[in-house]
Amino acid sequence: HQNPDVPDVYSFHVKSDIRFRFATTEITSLVVNNKTYARKATFNVILPEEAFISNFSMVIDGKEYPGHIHQMNQTDHETDEEDKKFNSQEQLPRGSTKFSATIKLGAQKQVLFKVRYQELLKRKLGFYEHIIYINPCRPIKDMSIEVYITESNKINILQVPPLRSVNPSVPVQDSANNSDVEIVRPSKTLAKITYRPPRNNEVVDGIFVVKYSVAQKKYTGEILSSNGYFVHFYIPEKLKPMKKDILFLLDTSSSMIGRKTDQLRSAMKLILNDLTGGERFNVLDFSHKLVFWQPKMTLWSEKNKNDCLKWINQRPIGGSTDINRAVVEGAKMMKTLDNTTSEGRARVILFLTDGSATFGESSRNVILNNLQKENLTKTPVFSLSFGADADMKLLQRISLQNSGEVKRIYESNDSAIQLKKFYDQISSTLMTDMKMKYIPKEVDNGSLTKSEFNQYFNGTETIVAGKLSDSYVKPTSWNLVATTSNGMIKRSKKFKRIRLDKSKKKFGFLTDNEVKNIPENLWAYLNIKQTLDKLTITNNEKEKEKLAKQLLDLSLKVSVIYHSGR
């Protein structure tokens, strides 16, 4: 809400420079105090929770005061109550975090706030999505957004829909175009998007979205190298999706009564309709009691689908939550699958709960150890944290320890759609047991980010970064070992090199040195993310100290502030 006794915001400008999926965004805002007395000036920026802040400064009386990163006391993770408070924050859009800076601005003074952050855009269902949050809370006459995109291949689809509402109940209109946007295409691989809202003295508030896809030529992997670092982007050639064996673990405890259960049943209808012949599935209904729909994994058919949906809709809701037995018995069910009939197939456990372990074993560490002992098939576990009361820390650890990921599902009218959208991203596996190997003479293999992946999903992208063995080396080839629908493959592939200086004319706002630093920054970005994951999983205090030091060293090396979100 607008406070009448705060300085005026004269301008709000956003610039983004996206180079090969890596987005650098700079926000500047001029705040003026026209009063004869000092007033508090606050600069609030909402940014994606995956982003790292790389620079912050204030310009007052023509002098720039830069922010600095200092070591802080290690406070490990938030408490459970803080975590629940964070989960239930409604003032922030989904998937975002907030950066704030406050100063006492003297009479008749002005301050120019500047913040820069960086983010790797993830490929989902074939598209990259760049999001900018606009929340000035007051009318601003001078407002603009400029987005520059530079890619190595043709940008074949580019969409800039109308501003999305921060209210999730308002329908998304991504198929329409934003009438206040101008798009210029200097070449097939470049795009500039400019947004200037009409000056009608109204508050502009919403989510600015740029979605684009890049043409996939027949190549075997692109490599970006500079200053002794490299980044390898890989999207495989057209592969046939693998048949899957999927087990759903569904919480039916008393906290699920009402809208949550209705939304879950709606989502399961959509998901089971997506399965096809030859795929196997089963459902475990759990509260303090555990009941499987079938005693073993069952082939999908129209009849089996309808029988399962009828069973789900008739299951009683109530009781406590036995998470330990649910995940352990789920892993045991996956072990019953015969390896001879599972070759060339993908296994997935989809685990949904809205609470914490209130029955049976409640220790997080014991639950994790029990699951690890039983999950000998290394089936990835994807956890869905439904609502604000779910034990997000436990679900994070379960998924990270078992090659999956966790997704927060917000309790609202669109919960079923959220569930289905997440399922869509993991519904089509192209490869399992994927290993990417590099030539030791060209690459320092000890510096590599994650290079082995349990599954590769259609519409995504695999990215590995590391240091070169020498700064002058130009890597030539790499090796891929994986399992596809046709069995195991072993291939040697040559790189396609991306030229950082592809455009002769200046495009975007990054300096030449900043462009050359992209491989190192991407390496650090991935390293920090993956080290945070390791910190979440471990319960060893010495290991925590070691990982915390690695995080500090990395953040100081590339001057970034990260949001752990855990």
**Contacts of residue 212, Cβ cutoff 8 Å, sequence gap at least 6:** 127, 128, 149, 155, 157, 158, 159, 191
Whether residue 32 contacts residue 7, with contact meaning beta carbons closer than 8 Å, is answered with yes
* pLDDT the model gives residue 131: 97
Shared-domain flag, residues 260 and 147:
no
Among 15-19, 77-81, 224-228, name the one with the lowest average pLDDT: 77-81
Whether residue 67 contacts residue 5, with contact meaning beta carbons closer than 8 Å, is answered with no
Q: Please tell me which residue, 350 or 199, carries the higher pLDDT value.
A: 350
Residue at which a domain ends, from 449, 472, 502: 502
Alpha-carbon distance of 382 to 534, in angstroms, equals 17
The verdict on residue 183 lying in a domain is yes
- Count of CB atoms within 10 A of residue 99's CB? 17
Strands (E), 163-322: 181-187, 190-195, 206-214, 222-226, 229-234, 243-251, 280-286, 290-292, 298-299
Secondary structure (3-state) at 268: helix
The DSSP secondary-structure symbol of 124 reads B
Shared-domain flag, residues 268 and 326:
yes
The verdict on residue 208 lying in a domain is yes
Confidence of residue 3 (pLDDT cuts 50, 70, 90): low
What residue has token string 């029955």?
359
* pLDDT the model gives residue 312: 97
Shared-domain flag, residues 149 and 296:
no
Dig out the tokens for 535 from the structure: 């910190």
Confidence of residue 200 (pLDDT cuts 50, 70, 90): confident
pLDDT digits over 235-251, tens only? Answer: 987 899 999 999 999 99
Shared-domain flag, residues 311 and 417:
yes
* pLDDT the model gives residue 52: 92
Secondary structure (3-state) at 17: strand
* pLDDT the model gives residue 78: 41
The verdict on residue 457 lying in a domain is yes
3-state secondary structure 407-453: EEECCCCCHHHHHHHHHHHHCCEEEEEEEEEECCCCEEHHHCCCCEE
pLDDT digits over 157-166, tens only? Answer: 999 999 998 8
Shared-domain flag, residues 77 and 201:
yes
**What count of Cα atoms within 13 Å lies in the side-chain half-sphere of residue 71?**
10
* pLDDT the model gives residue 88: 43
The verdict on residue 3 lying in a domain is no
Confidence of residue 398 (pLDDT cuts 50, 70, 90): very high
Shared-domain flag, residues 227 and 270:
no
Mean pLDDT of 146-150: 97
Mean pLDDT of 210-238: 87
* pLDDT the model gives residue 563: 61
Amino acid making up residue 340: T
The answer on pLDDT for 508 being more than 70 is yes
The answer on pLDDT for 560 being more than 80 is no
Among 13-17, 265-269, 371-375, 555-559, name the one with the lowest average pLDDT: 555-559
The verdict on residue 273 lying in a domain is yes
- Count of CB atoms within 10 A of residue 124's CB? 16
The DSSP secondary-structure symbol of 237 reads S
Shared-domain flag, residues 271 and 347:
yes
Give the torsion through C-alpha atoms of 497, 527, 493, 347, to 10 deg: -140
**Contacts of residue 3, Cβ cutoff 8 Å, sequence gap at least 6:** none
* pLDDT the model gives residue 498: 83
Q: Please tell me which residue, 287 or 204, carries the higher pLDDT value.
A: 287
The verdict on residue 537 lying in a domain is no
Residue at which a domain ends, from 502, 522, 552: 502
pLDDT digits over 307-342, tens only? Answer: 999 999 999 999 999 999 999 999 999 998 876 556
Alpha-carbon distance of 119 to 18, in angstroms, equals 9
The verdict on residue 38 lying in a domain is yes
Mean pLDDT of 46-72: 85
CATH code of the domain in which 199 resides: 2.60.40
pLDDT digits over 182-196, tens only? Answer: 999 999 999 999 999
Confidence of residue 73 (pLDDT cuts 50, 70, 90): very low
The DSSP secondary-structure symbol of 112 reads E
How many degrees, rounded to 5, is the angle at CA 399 between CA 79 and CA 318? 75
Among 3-12, 71-80, 511-520, name the one with the lowest average pLDDT: 71-80
Shared-domain flag, residues 173 and 105:
yes
Q: Which of 375, 382, 323, 371 is nearest to 349 (CA)?
A: 382
Shared-domain flag, residues 180 and 294:
no
Shared-domain flag, residues 451 and 423:
no
pLDDT digits over 425-443, tens only? Answer: 999 999 999 999 999 999 9
Average pLDDT over all residues of the chain? 89
Mean pLDDT of 202-219: 86
Q: Please tell me which residue, 471 or 422, carries the higher pLDDT value.
A: 422
Shared-domain flag, residues 364 and 455:
no
**What count of Cα atoms within 13 Å lies in the side-chain half-sphere of residue 367?**
25
* End-to-end Cα distance, the chain: 29
pLDDT digits over 527-537, tens only? Answer: 999 999 999 99
Using alpha carbons, list the distances in angstroms from residue 46 to 77, 386, 390, 433. Answer: 22, 23, 24, 37
Beta bridge partners of 83: none
**Contacts of residue 241, Cβ cutoff 8 Å, sequence gap at least 6:** 428, 429, 430, 458, 485
The verdict on residue 1 lying in a domain is no
* pLDDT the model gives residue 250: 96
Secondary structure (3-state) at 104: strand
- Long-range contacts, 158-162 (Cβ 8 Å, 24+): 158/183, 158/185, 158/191, 158/193, 158/210, 158/211, 158/212, 159/210, 159/211, 159/212, 160/193, 160/195, 160/209, 160/210, 160/211, 161/209, 161/211
**Helix H or strand E encompassing 147:** strand 142-150
Residues of the domain holding 407: 244-427
* pLDDT the model gives residue 84: 42
CATH code of the domain in which 267 resides: 3.40.50.410
pLDDT digits over 79-103, tens only? Answer: 444 344 434 444 788 889 999 888 9
Residue at which a domain ends, from 427, 447, 476: 427
Confidence of residue 110 (pLDDT cuts 50, 70, 90): very high
**Helix H or strand E encompassing 509:** none
Q: Please tell me which residue, 341 or 53, carries the higher pLDDT value.
A: 53
The answer on pLDDT for 296 being more than 90 is yes
Secondary structure (3-state) at 231: strand
Q: Please tell me which residue, 77 or 68, carries the higher pLDDT value.
A: 68
The answer on pLDDT for 395 being more than 60 is yes
Beta bridge partners of 11: 30, 142
Q: Please tell me which residue, 217 or 153, carries the higher pLDDT value.
A: 153
Shared-domain flag, residues 164 and 249:
no
Pairing of strands 345-353, 243-251: parallel
Count of domains forming the chain: 3
